[in-house]
Amino acid sequence: MNDSIEWLGECCFEIPMGGPGMRGGVSLTAVRGPAEDLLRRLGAEDRRTGTWAHYRDLDPLSVDAPWTPCMYGTSGEWSYVLEDSGVCAWYQHWADGNSSVMPRDGEEFVCLYANVAVQPSWLFYAPGDGRLLRAEFRHSLTGPARESESGRAHLLDSRLRSNGAVWPDPDAFSSPAQWRAFVEDRSTGLHAAVWRSVGEHTGLRIPRAAVEVGELPAALLVDPFM
């Protein structure tokens, strides 16, 4: 059964499970397009992609630098990569100036980098019009809302606002103190609201049970900082 991706936000601050799958601190990179292309652009080792029937079959102790394991899958037109323990290959490549990971013209793209160990957490979004937008969790992607604005990016911003993930939102919170309590709630607060918003906007569905027991396929991605 496919689940909303909100659960990944709810589990963000849990200690990574260290078992056969993933749970706490997971990051997501997704694009409307084939999984093979996404993996290649993230530096996947071609000869090892598809070697493991499931992520649980991969022994992390057998993975040497500069490689890091991920699991991947598809949801409708979307392909996605999940990485454990605060790792996010796309973000690392982007921060290093690697243009090959940049979204292409006409390509819808999203990256949720949990980054729970040091903060801030980041949302990146390309609506398919040539822009790559980014915002720290709790901030807007496109700036102050205007009723006349439209487009995919503003639709995502509307989701973020309606779910209380952008401050200030007088309809969702009665005071700054209530907002702070929401942000500091590490199970159903800000992170869950951001992930919920992205899931509602994109239609991404990721099977929770399969992720937690490692039933999705695995690949190795290159770490650009190694």
Model confidence at 38: pLDDT above 90: yes
Task: List the single range of 61-65, 71-75, 86-90, 218-222 with lowest mean pLDDT.
Answer: 61-65
75 is a domain residue? yes
Q: Is residue 60 part of a domain?
A: yes
Whether 188 is covered by a domain: the verdict is no
**Dihedral over alpha carbons 93, 95, 97, 101 (to 10 degrees):** 40
**Better pLDDT: 64 or 190:** 190
End-to-end CA distance of the chain: 37
Q: Give a yes or no: residue 179 inside a domain.
A: no
Confidence of residue 213 (pLDDT cuts 50, 70, 90): very high
Percent of the chain scored above 70 by pLDDT?
Answer: 86
pTM for the full predicted model:
0.89
Domain, as residue range, for 78: 6-136+204-222
- pLDDT score at 117: 77
In a domain, 176, yes or no: no
Residue 35: inside a domain, yes or no? yes
Domain count, the chain: 1
162 inside domain = no
pLDDT at 2: 53
Which carries the bigger pLDDT value, residue 172 or residue 198?
198
Residues forming a β-bridge with 109: 31, 126
Query: Which residues make Cβ contacts (< 8 Å) with residue 26, sequence separation at least 6?
Result: 8, 11, 12, 82, 83, 84, 114, 211
**Structure token pair of residue 158:** 């509307």
Per-residue pLDDT of 157-171, as tens digits, reads 999 988 888 876 555
Q: What is the mean pLDDT of the chain?
A: 86
pLDDT in the model for residue 1: 41
Nearest to 188 by CA among 11, 2, 5: 11
Query: What average pLDDT does the segment 75-104 reach?
Result: 93
Q: How much is the pLDDT for 226? A: 58
Residue 199 lies in a domain: no
